[in-house]
Amino acid sequence: MASEEIKYADKRANEILEVVMAYARLDFKQKISITNKEDVFDSIGTGVNMLGEELEGSTISLREKEQLLKEVHHRVKNNLQIISSLLNLQSDNFQDERFLAMIRESKNRINSMALIHEMLYIAKDFSQINMSDYIVKLSQSVYQSFNAKDSSIAFEYDIDESLFLEIDRMIPIGLILNEIISNSLKYAFPAKKGTIKFCLKEKKGNICFTISDDGIGIPKDFDYSQTKSLGVQLIPMLCDQIDAGLTINSERGTCYDLCFKALMLS
Amino acid sequence: MEVPTNAIEVTCYHTWMGKDGVGRTKVKLGADVTLKEAKENSDAVNSFYKGDKFPLLIDARGIRSMTRDARNQFSLKGRESGVKAFAIIIDSTISKVVGNFFMGINKPIVPARLFTNEEEALVWLKSIDNS
């Protein structure tokens, strides 16, 4: 090949490379110039230019869809908050402690779901939730709802911060967590002092989630199958929904062990 | 593909209806087809629609580039009303690149195939027309 031809080929190849790299950076302003020679560089250039246009179109379309999804999560969260506020308004005229407790429990269940939608529209990834962030935020929100200013109940977290879960399983997990924390805050600490621990780890493809308290434990004659408590009934039902194994131990305080697959099988 | 004197001429194309009932459109040498030129061509092709859909032979040899909007115009909009199939004749590497976009990314909703030979393209179009 003559030196002029080598120079020409080198120049054209470098120009194409520059444009390919620009497209990789999602910079679609650059285009390969097409000459009248109709040589192989012009053909590659035409193809790269056209693929760049398609990539740009797909990128814009993806951004629009992400924006739409964000908007949907925002609206779902707002609607759930409206339901929660309506329950608040409804409870304003009542003094009955049992009724007020029911309203609070319902509000907490709604908030456990609203928090997921809030985290999803803030996050970059709309398909999954960081479990660590969620557990910390939800536990603190439930604690605040009990208005337990005069109590000294501490939360301890031993959580793998790298674990994520998709929304379909995060909602049942959130509801389960809400029920367990609520039960501990309601019954485990008559002296209003104690600790609730959260341990979340991945072991051999399974996520092991342990929520335990050092309270008075569950009464020995307590029968899970006969209870009328909605919260206690919900826990095994929601575990079934996500195929999670559940073990409850009440030797020292109360300990719930949940174990489920780290990856959802399609 | 010989352009007859009665062909409709727009910026980048000559378009006419053959005596065999096959529409024909030929791109001009070195054409850079944008949405404007694609719409002109669609209008010219659709002007031959008189109630019966017809096959279209597209001679893409000599094309230099075609924008995304123009490809979408051809694949999604303009021609479906009057055209029942596309045969695209390609020979240069640029026309091959452009043609292959119509086989995948910008696939038209009507049957479309690439040919390097005009006679084979016409045989295929007529088989579609008679089916």
User: SS3 of A125, please?
Assistant: coil
Identify whether the C-beta of residue B123 lies closer than 8 Å to the C-beta of residue A70.
no
pLDDT band at B131 (very low <50, low <70, confident <90, very high): confident
Mean pLDDT along residues A180-198: 93
Name the E strands within chain A.
128-130, 152-159, 164-166, 193-203, 206-213, 245-249, 254-261
Distance from CA of B29 to the nearest CA of A (A): 10
| Residues above pLDDT 70, as percent of chain B | 96
Can you give the pLDDT at residue A257?
96
| All residues at 6 or more sequence positions from B65 whose CB lies less than 8 Å from its CB, including other chains | A34, A46, A49, A50, B32, B33, B94, B98
Can you give the pLDDT at residue A55?
95
User: Which residues in chain B touch residue A38, judged by CB atoms under 8 angstroms apart?
Assistant: 64, 92-94
In a 13 Å sphere around the CA of A119, the CA atoms on its Cβ side amount to 25
Q: What is the DSSP letter of B50?
A: S
Q: From A52, which residue of chain B is nearest by alpha-carbon distance?
A: B68
Distance, CA of A80 to CA of A84 (rounded, Å) = 6
User: SS3 of A10, please?
Assistant: helix
Q: Using the CB atoms, write b or e for A149-175: b if 16+ within 10 Å.
A: eeeebeeeeebeeebbbebebbbbbbb
Identify whether the C-beta of residue B78 lies closer than 8 Å to the C-beta of residue B42.
yes
pLDDT, averaged across chain A:
90
Provide residues of B within 8 Å CB-CB of chain A. 30, 64-68, 71, 92-94, 96-98, 101, 105
B10-46 pLDDT, tens digit per residue, is 999 999 999 999 999 999 999 999 999 999 999 999 9
| Residues above pLDDT 90, as percent of chain B | 69
Distance, CA of B3 to CA of B25 (rounded, Å) = 9
Report the candidate in B35, B36, B45 with the shortest Cα–Cα distance to residue B14. Answer: B45
Mean pLDDT along residues A6-10: 92
Instruction: Decide if A50 and B101 are in contact by the 8 Å CB cutoff.
Output: yes
Burial class (CB in 10 A: 0-12, 13-18, 19+), A191: exposed
Residue with token string 């089916």: B131
pLDDT band at A231 (very low <50, low <70, confident <90, very high): confident
R_g of chain B computed on alpha carbons: 13
pLDDT band at A265 (very low <50, low <70, confident <90, very high): very low
A57 interfaces chain B, CB cutoff of 8 Å:
yes
Nearest by CB to B64, which of A34, A54, A57?
A: A34
Query: Residue B77: is its pLDDT beyond 70?
Result: no
R_g of chain A computed on alpha carbons: 28
Residues 175-214 of A with CB under 8 A from B: none
Say what the pTM is.
0.68
Residue with token string 């009507």: B110
pLDDT band at B79 (very low <50, low <70, confident <90, very high): low
A111 C-beta neighbours (distance < 10 Å), count: 22
Instruction: Decide if A38 and B94 are in contact by the 8 Å CB cutoff.
Output: yes
| All residues at 6 or more sequence positions from B49 whose CB lies less than 8 Å from its CB, including other chains | B81, B82
Report the candidate in A223, A260, A255 with the shortest Cα–Cα distance to residue A238. Answer: A260
Nearest by CB to B68, which of A34, A38, A57?
A: A57
| All residues at 6 or more sequence positions from B24 whose CB lies less than 8 Å from its CB, including other chains | B1, B15, B16, B17, B18, B56, B57, B59
A93 interfaces chain B, CB cutoff of 8 Å:
no
Distance, CA of A151 to CA of A139 (rounded, Å) = 15
User: SS3 of A104, please?
Assistant: helix
Mean pLDDT along residues B85-102: 91
Mean pLDDT along residues B53-81: 86
A95-138 pLDDT, tens digit per residue, is 898 899 889 999 999 999 999 999 988 887 778 899 999 999 99
Distance, CA of A69 to CA of A199 (rounded, Å) = 32
ipTM: 0.76
